[in-house]
Amino acid sequence: MKILNFKLLTIFLISLAFSASCGKDDAKVSSFVGNYVISEALVAQSFNVPITGVGDVPVPAGTPITAAIQGALLSAVSCSSADKTWVEIREDFSLYMSCEGADPLNAGTWSEVSSTELKLNLNANAVPSPIALTVTDVVKSGGTLTGLTGVPLPKEMIQALMTAYNPSLVLDPSAPAVFIVKFSLKFTQK
């Protein structure tokens, strides 16, 4: 009888240890997972834009470029307004772009490089030329994510930014085809 009780006790302890260890094997979900609206984008490092008849015009750090970045990063999602469009950072490391009332668009993948760095791999569904955006100095506070990134912006987008600022500003023909713009991003959890 003692042997039978000992065997039952051993089986019980093994099953208890097994069930406790199963819980520890569960993968930790990244704190970055969620749905986010691009709520703010600001130039983080000043740069110059050559303007016809004027010369180089500085674009200072702190210049708001939210609408341009929303348009560039979310242009593949047809939506009535930017505040109804969001980025989905999913638990399975997929990246989607969504619009209220529409099916989400598979926009690529993402990875958590570290607790302060994300890599967003945008595919051809999301942007005309696939691109990997590295967002550094990421801070998650409450329902917001903030960070810094650099992105190549075509001169057409720079022209649109300049026109929004002053319609008479025209890029000089010597302007490069692409400007590397460093900016800060603020994502607000939806």
What does the domain layout of the chain look like in residue ranges? Answer: 34-189
Please report the pLDDT score of residue 27 as a whole number. 63
With 0.85 as the threshold, say if the pTM is over it. no
38 vs 51: CA distance, rounded Å: 29
Percent of the chain predicted with pLDDT > 90: 53
User: 34-189 sits in which CATH class?
Assistant: mainly beta
Centroid of chain to Cα 154: 19
Please report the pLDDT score of residue 94 as a whole number. 97
Quick: pLDDT tens for 124-179: 988 888 889 999 999 999 899 999 999 888 888 888 878 877 889 899 999 999 99
Look at 7-21, 77-91, 146-160 and tell me which has the smallest mean pLDDT. Answer: 7-21
Residue 94: its H or E element:
strand 94-99
Q: Is a pLDDT exceeding 60 seen at residue 31?
A: yes
Choice between 6 and 164, residue whose per-residue pLDDT is larger: 164
